[in-house]
Structure 1
Amino acid sequence: MPTLETLERFIAQVEANAHAEAVEAFYTADASLQENQEPPRVGRDFHVAKERAVMSRARSVTSTCVRPAFLNGDHVAIRWIFRFEWADGSVTRLEEIAHQRWEGERIAQEQFFYDPQQRIPVPRALD
């Protein structure tokens, strides 16, 4: 079960757009992440590389935790809003709920729930 302090450090790191660093610091080596009902992807190193690849394609990123975050034993639920401005000027705004299962002070399993239509970039003028 994570402490409230650990959860707050995790949220702060994501809000600072240090996504890959948050994965390195707060996920187990064999962490499982799942997008909606897609098959889970396993392995912290894989997720770190994926986060770095996404962040390298973005001109700017804003990551916001919509409070409150919910902590109940080993389970955490966080509502996030992410705004990515891409190199071509298009924008992706993604609002999701992340449901996490922690083992001690690290995330072992996470599933994201969001409307996949949000992943389609829109021209900046329409953002």
Structure 2
Amino acid sequence: MPSPETLERFIARVEQNAHAEAVEEFYAESSSMRENQGEPRVGRELHVANERKVLARAKSVRSECVRPIFVNGNHVVIRWIFEFEWLDGTFTHMEELAYQRWEGERIAEEQFFYDPAQRVPQKR
């Protein structure tokens, strides 16, 4: 079970838009991550590479945790809002729930729940 201090440090890293660094610091080496009902991606290195790939396409990102955070033993649910401004001038507003299973102070498993229609970039 993650300590409250660990959860706050994790959220702070994401809100600083240090997404790849948050994965390096808080995910287990063999962690799995999946989008909605998609196939899980397994391995921290793969998660870091994916974060860097997405962020390389962004001019700016704003990340916000919407409280409260729900914690029940090793399970945590966080509501996130992300605003991406892409290099091509479009933007994406995403709201999602992250359902996490922690092993001690590291995330072992995470599944994101969101409306896929949000992923389509919009023009300003």
For Structure 1 versus Structure 2, the TM-score category normalised by the shorter chain is over 0.9
TM-score, length of structure 1 as denominator length: 0.97
Residue 116 of structure 1: aligned partner: 116
Q: What amino acid sits opposite 1:12 in the alignment?
A: A
Report the number of matched residues: 124
Cα shift at 1:56: 1.1
Match of 1:11 in 2: 11
User: Are positions 1:45 and 2:45 aligned together?
Assistant: yes
Where do residues 70-85 of structure 1 align in structure 2 (5 Å cutoff)?
70-85=70-85
Report the CA distance between 1:82 and its aligned residue: 0.3
Q: How big is the shift at 1:72?
A: 1.1
TM-score (norm 2): 0.99
Question: Percent identity at matched positions?
Answer: 69
The 5-angstrom pairing of residues 32-111 of structure 1 reads: 32-111=32-111
The CA deviation at 1:110 is 0.2
Write the distance in 1 (CA, Å) between the matches of 2:111 and 2:105: 18
Structure 2 unmatched runs, 5+ = none
Quote the Cα distance in structure 2 between the aligned partners of 1:82 and 1:40: 21
CA deviation string 1:40-61 (max 9, x = no partner) = 1100000001101111110000
